[in-house]
Amino acid sequence: MDPFNCRGLIIKSDDYKEKDRLLSVLTSDRGLITICAKGVAKPGSSLGFVSMPYMLCDFVVSVSHGYYYLKDASIIESNSGIMESLEQMTVAAHISALLVDCTLQSENAREAYELAVYAYYMLANNKDKYLLIYSAFNWRLLTIAGFTVQYDLSNPSYKGTGDKPDRFLLNIAGGVNSASNQNRSFDRLLESPSVKALNYFATCDLKRLFTSSADKKTEKELKDFTTDYISIHFEKIYDTLSVLNNL
């Protein structure tokens, strides 16, 4: 089979044998593929740069016995700024893990690819917004996967009660409040700016997704809520950001 060209994001790079690496590459048309980059760990390799994750590249790939092998590559966007801080690297690692865990079908692979392209680029160039980028990515990927709902803030059933009437009661298991869900352990109280942000993350033009801003309280609320939400729906505990708690 003749080699083919594809553009993709390196979301993961693992050692393989002594001098090779296995690249997990997210593409718009083929979804997530694994490419064997032979000899790239060898000193002086002309393709040694391909061992770095988070880069957007054009690849030339050959196919042999159902496996992909790297023939050539060129960098479109290095996203090297991600390596400038532990916060950026931690969020980038979370994004990669989530993309690997998310089952991407042909109909949503392109959306997930485009989302990841913007997420890595914005993360590389916006150190101070890493938490908001984290939450926005979580919610938009959940939306692509069909796990989110639009919250109607005028609906009285979402309103908190008692001493917290200005907060909204949301449920991380099904997107609805406890009035229609008996498991109160899934309930979360969020203030209005956070709920509005979730609706924005789900529906805005992708080019504007990571340009929004929020105060520290809202950033933390969004981080906690979206983390709990993805953990429930992807059936895995996502605690990557816990390493930042001791900073």
Confidence band for 176, pLDDT divided at 50, 70 and 90: very low
Q: Can you give the pLDDT at residue 181?
A: 45
- Average pLDDT on 115-128 reads 96
The reply to whether 58 and 166 lie within a common domain is no
Burial-class residue 147 by CB neighbours within 10 Å (0-12, 13-18, 19+). middle
Beta strand ranges found along the chain (DSSP E): 4-16, 20-27, 31-37, 56-64, 67-77, 167-171, 187-191
The reply to whether 94 and 156 lie within a common domain is yes
Confidence band for 44, pLDDT divided at 50, 70 and 90: confident
Report the C-alpha gap between 155 and 68 in whole angstroms.
51
Choose the final residue of a domain: 59, 78, 97. 78
Beta strand ranges found along 130-191 (DSSP E): 167-171, 187-191
Complete DSSP assignment for 97-146:
HHHHHS---HHHHHHHHHHHHHHHHHHHH-GGGHHHHHHHHHHHHHHHTT
Residue type, 223: K
The CA-based dihedral angle spanning residues 78, 81, 228, 188, taken in that order and rounded to the nearest 10 degrees: -130
The reply to whether 122 and 64 lie within a common domain is no
Q: Can you give the pLDDT at residue 219?
A: 95
The reply to whether 91 and 121 lie within a common domain is yes
The CATH number that applies at residue 95 is: 1.20.1440
Please compute Rg for the chain using Cα positions.
20
Comparing 27-31, 164-168, 182-186, the range with the smallest average pLDDT is 182-186
Q: Can you give the pLDDT at residue 178?
A: 41
- Average pLDDT on 119-145 reads 96
Question: Domains in the chain: how many in total?
Answer: 2
- Average pLDDT on 120-124 reads 97
The reply to whether 134 and 51 lie within a common domain is no
Q: Can you give the pLDDT at residue 56?
A: 97
Q: Can you give the pLDDT at residue 49?
A: 84
Q: What is the pLDDT of residues 69-95, one digit of tens each?
A: 999 999 999 999 999 999 999 999 999
The reply to whether 114 and 231 lie within a common domain is yes
Residue tagged 């059936």 (tokens): 235
Confidence band for 60, pLDDT divided at 50, 70 and 90: very high
Choose the final residue of a domain: 55, 78, 101. 78
pLDDT at 231 over 70: yes
Task: Tell me the pLDDT of the chain averaged across its residues.
Answer: 88
Q: Can you give the pLDDT at residue 2?
A: 81
Domain holding 190, by residue range, is 81-244
Confidence band for 164, pLDDT divided at 50, 70 and 90: low
Burial-class residue 200 by CB neighbours within 10 Å (0-12, 13-18, 19+). middle
